[in-house]
């Protein structure tokens, strides 16, 4: 069987690319044969579990220059593509399929139904309408380009196929990575991103469930700030195993490679009063202790920190529960300012963030033309989604990469098919 377009992987990027290619070819009045090969029995499996079952489809950030700031890897390469096909176009695409998206206060966008199967049903129905063939339980085992006939041979666990263009949309599959290496592509080794930190520290014990704004810096196991410096801010959540929340997830994404090198053994430095420095807090504590001299430290906190956390800070700094501000010694004040702005916590491992998890690494971006996601190494080969060395922090940005690169790859394959009509070649 010979297809015009064969797509490896029935995930978000594969489906989006197949639909856009078919819609474009349909609009030109051209007949086409498009297939998606999927190794699993189920399609769009990650979409189903995404966003805690709600599918965080994209983010309400329409400015490409700001949008790319959420991508630790791939940000420069995505600037042009986001101008062509960004969240606006994705929202419009889903609207046309009858899916209405809503925006939450932090900018994340979900279907109004709060159900990921709304997205799945819309994609599957549109692919059906367009006659896209979806072949499940067919794992691609080998890809060979035949230059004499300008087409691909595709070996699968089910049966062999041929295709004029191939899109690799196989996510972070290591097996597909090896196939691409055999074709001469450089693969950036995969490492996890978007995880939480294991920390066993008496200062955090009993505080699980507490969430507060922090700024965070990553330090190596000797306590030296990471190079390049990984510094994030946002809410931090204390969990029974350590810390989670946006500030931590961002640090895990921006520091993904360093953290892997360090085998997840390092320190984080927490500033519980973001925007303040040790010096500014030391001075402010001195003034506060004179002004509030007769009042108890426990019941008259210096900051708006959650009460349980404040109590933990002052006991860590060596202040007694009933101590008044007048009795704050210089050593205690320095210890308290340090705890509040530069508290160091030893990280002893990582856990997966169940709401979202991605792999950093993949096809080296230097070998991909981002105008159409085509390979610079092999003809008629295209890429989309997580198989590229692109990944983002949480918030719908990872799917946005899948949609955008899927769309551009689709246009690239269509353009190639238009330039090489079958009659002219056969
Ligand atoms: C639990 C979880 C929740 C998430 N939630 C969100 C979210 O809410 N918002 C967000 O933006 N991102 C989220 N992500 C990230 C997002 O799911 C991915 O970035 C996105 O799915 C990548 O799409 P993709 O099409 O590139 O790859 P995938 O979705 O991984 O699809 C690749 C497909 O290729 C198939 N495949 C692999 N190898 C072969 C082969 N050899 N032959 C045939 N088929 C093959 C796989 O079986 C798979 O179906 C989440 C991730 C996880 C794990």
The pLDDT of 60-75, averaged and rounded, is 98
Q: What is the pLDDT of residue 53?
A: 96
pTM, two decimals, is 0.95
Q: How far apart are CA 418 and CA 424, in angstroms?
A: 11
CA of 175 to the centre of ligand 1 (A): 15
Angle, helix 116-129 to helix 12-27, in steps of 10 degrees? 40
Ligand 1 binding pocket mutation candidate from 46, 167, 361, 405 (most atoms within 8 A of CB): 46
Angle, helix 75-84 to helix 397-419, in steps of 10 degrees? 70
Q: How far apart are CA 69 and CA 283, in angstroms?
A: 35
The domain segmentation of the chain, as residue ranges, is 2-192+355-425, 195-274+344-352
Q: What is the pLDDT of residue 1?
A: 80
Ligand 1 in reach of 301 Cβ (< 6 A): no
Fold of 2-192+355-425: FAD/NAD(P)-binding domain (3.50.50)
Taking CA atoms only, the protein residue closest to ligand 1 atom 2 is 356
Angle, helix 278-291 to helix 330-342, in steps of 10 degrees? 130
Strands 231-238 and 211-219 come out as antiparallel
Q: What is the pLDDT of residue 424?
A: 45
Ligand 1 in reach of 11 Cβ (< 6 A): yes
Q: What is the pLDDT of residue 320?
A: 82
Ligand 1 in reach of 139 Cβ (< 6 A): yes
Ligand 1 in reach of 8 Cβ (< 6 A): yes
CA distance readout (Å), 76 to 59, 69, 145: 18, 9, 30
CA of 253 to the centre of ligand 1 (A): 17
CA of 167 to the centre of ligand 1 (A): 15
Q: What is the pLDDT of residue 423?
A: 59
The pLDDT of 49-56, averaged and rounded, is 96
Q: Are 36 and 132 in contact (CB under 8 A)?
A: yes
Rounded mean pLDDT of the chain?
Answer: 96
CATH architecture of 195-274+344-352: Beta Barrel (2.40)
Q: What is the pLDDT of residue 352?
A: 86
Ligand 1 in reach of 357 Cβ (< 6 A): yes
Ligand 1 in reach of 180 Cβ (< 6 A): no
Q: What is the pLDDT of residue 422?
A: 79
User: What is the per-residue pLDDT across 183-196, written as a single tens digit (0 to 9) for each?
Assistant: 999 999 999 999 99
User: What is the per-residue pLDDT across 96-149, written as a single tens digit (0 to 9) for each?
Assistant: 999 999 999 999 999 999 999 999 999 999 999 999 999 999 999 999 999 999
The pLDDT of 401-407, averaged and rounded, is 98
Ligand 1 binding pocket mutation candidate from 138, 399, 405 (most atoms within 8 A of CB): 399
Q: How far apart are CA 414 and CA 408, in angstroms?
A: 10
How far the first Cα of the chain sits from its last, in Å, is 16
Residues comprising the chain, all counted: 426
CA of 100 to the centre of ligand 1 (A): 22
* Percentage of the residues of the chain whose pLDDT score is greater than 70: 99
**pLDDT of 426 over the 60 cut:** no
CA of 355 to the centre of ligand 1 (A): 13
Spatial CA neighbour of 177 closest among 401, 337, 389:
389
User: What is the per-residue pLDDT across 264-281, written as a single tens digit (0 to 9) for each?
Assistant: 999 999 999 999 999 999
Ligand 1 in reach of 55 Cβ (< 6 A): yes
Edge to edge, the sheet with strand 195-198 lists 343-347, 266-271, 211-219, 231-238, 242-244, 195-198, 349-352
Q: How far apart are CA 65 and CA 243, in angstroms?
A: 30
Ligand 1 in reach of 296 Cβ (< 6 A): no
As given in the structure block, the two tokens for residue 237 are 């959540």
Helix (H) or strand (E) holding 4: strand 2-8
The Cα angle at residue 196 between residues 194 and 202, in degrees rounded to 5: 165
Q: What is the pLDDT of residue 400?
A: 98
Per DSSP (E only), the strands in 14-149 are: 34-37, 58-59, 101-103, 108-111, 133-135, 140-146
User: What is the per-residue pLDDT across 11-29, written as a single tens digit (0 to 9) for each?
Assistant: 999 999 999 999 999 999 9
Taking CA atoms only, the protein residue closest to ligand 1 atom 21 is 46
């Amino acid at each position: 069987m010979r297809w015009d377009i064969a797509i490896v992987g029935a995930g978000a990027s594969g489906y989006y690319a197949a639909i856009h290619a078919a819609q474009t070819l349909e609009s030109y009045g051209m007949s086409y044969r498009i297939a998606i090969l999927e190794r699993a029995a189920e399609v769009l499996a990650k979409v189903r579990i995404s966003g805690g079952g709600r599918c965080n489809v994209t983010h309400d950030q329409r400015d490409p220059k700001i949008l790319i700031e959420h991508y630790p890897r791939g940000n420069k390469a995505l600037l042009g593509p986001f101008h062509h096909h960004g969240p606006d176009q994705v929202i419009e695409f889903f609207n046309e399929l009858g899916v209405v998206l809503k925006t939450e206060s932090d900018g994340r966008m979900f279907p109004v139904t709060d159900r990921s199967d709304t997205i799945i049903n819309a994609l599957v129905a549109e692919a059906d309408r367009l006659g896209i063939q979806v072949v499940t339980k067919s794992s691609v085992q080998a890809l060979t380009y035949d230059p004499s006939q300008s087409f691909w041979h595709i070996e699968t666990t089910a049966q062999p196929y041929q295709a004029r263009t191939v899109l690799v949309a196989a996510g972070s599959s290591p097996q597909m990575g090896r196939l691409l290496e055999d074709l001469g592509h450089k693969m950036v080794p995969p490492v996890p991103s978007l995880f939480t930190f294991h920390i066993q520290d008496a200062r955090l014990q009993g505080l699980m469930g507490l969430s507060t704004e922090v700024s965070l810096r990553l330090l190596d196991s000797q306590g030296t700030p990471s190079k390049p410096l990984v510094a994030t801010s946002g809410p931090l959540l204390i969990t029974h195993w350590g810390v989670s929340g946006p500030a931590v997830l961002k640090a895990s994404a921006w520091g993904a490679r360093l953290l892997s090198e360090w085998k997840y053994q390092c320190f984080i430095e927490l500033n519980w009063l973001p925007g303040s420095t040790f010096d500014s807090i030391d001075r402010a504590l001195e003034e506060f202790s004179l002004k509030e001299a007769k009042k108890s430290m426990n019941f008259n906190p210096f900051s708006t920190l959650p009460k349980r956390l404040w109590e933990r800070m002052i006991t860590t700094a060596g202040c007694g529960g009933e101590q008044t501000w007048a009795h704050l010694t210089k050593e205690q004040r320095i210890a308290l300012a340090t705890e509040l702005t530069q508290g160091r916590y030893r990280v002893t491992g990582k856990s997966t963030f169940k709401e979202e998890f991605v792999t950093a690494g993949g096809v080296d971006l230097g070998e991909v033309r981002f105008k159409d996601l085509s390979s610079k190494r092999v003809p008629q080969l295209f890429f989309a989604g997580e198989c590229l060395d692109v990944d983002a922090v949480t918030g719908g940005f990872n799917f946005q990469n899948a949609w955008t690169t899927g769309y551009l790859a689709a246009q690239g394959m269509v353009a190639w098919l238009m330039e090489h009509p079958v009659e002219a070649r056969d």
